[in-house]
């Protein structure tokens, strides 16, 4: 699952090119919980610099980023519509080739919406 670093279009970093992790050290990084893979990826990519703001799940992190409450590192499939509509922009921070692997229990595959999530995550 490819990840992207996003912000609202009006965010001061949105217009800047060639950002570095140091440019983000005073930013608010919208995160879930420390056990979340996005939090761990943020630690690896950005280091300890940005202040972590616990925002809840992916839809909440996306919505808060759209409203300019911080930046967020999220799965590309989860922000694709917001990027297309212009509600979010991709920040110009070179990201390493970092991917996440989705793992689920076979007995949970038939839960409502699970297949939609799996298919969305598999799209390039």
Longest dimension (CA), the chain: 46
Residue 19 CA to residue 26 CA, distance in Å, equals 13
List, in sequence order, every residue forming a beta bridge with 99; answer none if it has no partner. 2
Q: Note the pLDDT tens digit of each residue in 14-61.
A: 999 999 999 999 999 999 887 777 778 888 888 888 999 998 889 999
Report the range out of 17-21, 51-55, 85-89, 91-95 with the highest average pLDDT. 85-89
Number of domains the chain is built from: 1
Give residue 118's pLDDT.
72
* SS3 at position 52: strand
pTM (two decimals):
0.77
Instruction: Domain of residue 90: give its range.
Output: 3-122
CATH number at residue 110: 3.40.190.10
Residue 37 CA to residue 42 CA, distance in Å, equals 8
Characterize the bridge pairing of strands 28-31 and 89-90: unpaired
Provide mean pLDDT across the span 83-91.
98
Residue 69 in this model has a pLDDT that exceeds 90: yes
Residue 89 CA to residue 40 CA, distance in Å, equals 22
Residue 100 CA to residue 41 CA, distance in Å, equals 9
Averaged confidence pLDDT in the chain: 86
């Amino acid at each position: 699952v490819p990840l992207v670093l996003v912000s609202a279009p009006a965010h001061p970093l949105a217009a800047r090119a060639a950002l570095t992790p140091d440019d983000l050290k005073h930013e608010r990084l919208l995160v879930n919980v420390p056990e979340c893979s996005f939090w761990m990826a943020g630690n690896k990519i950005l280091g300890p610099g940005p202040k972590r703001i616990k925002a809840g799940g992916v839809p909440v992190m996306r919505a808060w980023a759209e409203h300019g409450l911080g930046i967020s590192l999220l799965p590309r499939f989860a922000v694709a519509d917001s990027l297309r509509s212009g509600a979010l922009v991709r920040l110009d921070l070179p990201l390493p080739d970092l991917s996440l692997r989705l793992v689920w229990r076979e007995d949970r595959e038939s839960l409502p919406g699970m297949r939609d999530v799996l298919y969305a995550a598999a799209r390039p």
